[in-house]
Amino acid sequence: MCYYNGTKVTRDEYIRLKHLEKLVAKYNFLDNPMHNGFAYGKVPVVKRIEGKEDFELVEMEWGFIPPADKFPFIETREQLKKFRERYTTLNAVSEELLFNNKMYRDATLHRRCLVLSTGFYDYRHEHKMGKKGQILKATETFPYKVGIKNKEIFYMAGIWQPWTDADTGEYVESVSIVTTVSNSLMSQVHNVKKRMPTMLTEELSWEWLFDDLPEERITEIAKFQIPSSQLEAYTIDKQFRTAEDPSLPVDYPDLSPLILS
């Protein structure tokens, strides 16, 4: 659902986020207009400092790595590679986070975090038309960039998991972005699965990160739908994944506009 994300922010905005000028030295990891989730690279995450009402900005590997001591028992990078060939853990479904049989339960209870975003990328699918004007089964995809109006940077709910490679001793912190049911705007953009990342207000971000929450409240926040009126979405180049600037708008004259409610 959310497999491409951007975090290209200005130096001033980064300083405002943390209020600590000394962290500007790490600014280079907040200068990426698009993270391709399927590359399983690192993304910027707001992580609580244990035992404190304070946080740090860190990089985590995008793609939740299951705990090694529980099924499916991923202990090495080789096992992880095979796991990722079959399963995608870039996103975690909000409605299922706390199910007893889910790998995400412990992280949801104890390791909630915020994934930074300056806009994410998603696809709209439209049926192609035949020569006689009939609707075909085949579809054409149109990519969009989606963000929050008047917000240079915003927060998406996440959960993270520590993991150590049993062969090499490599220590990794991995993260998954929580998703919820699409609002009316995103239902038109991501119009197949109709999911979207759980984008949080500043108040909900604080609660998600710091508060000792009952399971009912955790699920409630995880399922939060930001109103359509607060979002902005526009079409971009179909080759955005390899473009120097993937966020540049591109117009598709035959594509019907989104209906804003």
Is the per-residue pLDDT at 178 higher than 70? Answer: yes
DSSP β-bridge partners for residue 126: 140
Q: pLDDT of 185-229, one tens digit each?
A: 999 999 999 999 999 988 899 899 988 999 999 999 999 999 999
Predicted confidence band at 20 (pLDDT cuts at 50, 70, 90)? Answer: very low
pLDDT at position 242 = 93
Amino acid in the structure at residue 115: V
* Residues of the chain above pLDDT 90, percent: 66
Q: pLDDT of 91-147, one tens digit each?
A: 999 999 999 989 999 999 999 999 988 899 999 999 877 777 677 777 899 999 999
Predicted confidence band at 22 (pLDDT cuts at 50, 70, 90)? Answer: very low
Asked if residue 127 lies in contact with residue 40, where contact means CB atoms within 8 angstroms, the answer is: no
- 88-126: b or e for each residue (b if 16 or more CB lie within 10 Å)? ebbbbbbeebbeeeebbbebbeebbbbbbbbbbbbbbee
Asked if residue 150 lies in contact with residue 195, where contact means CB atoms within 8 angstroms, the answer is: no
Which of 224, 97, 53 is CA-nearest to residue 155? 224
The Cα angle at residue 29 between residues 25 and 32, in degrees rounded to 5 = 135
User: Could you give the domains of the chain?
Assistant: 4-242 (3.90.1680.10)
Tell me if the pTM is above 0.85. yes
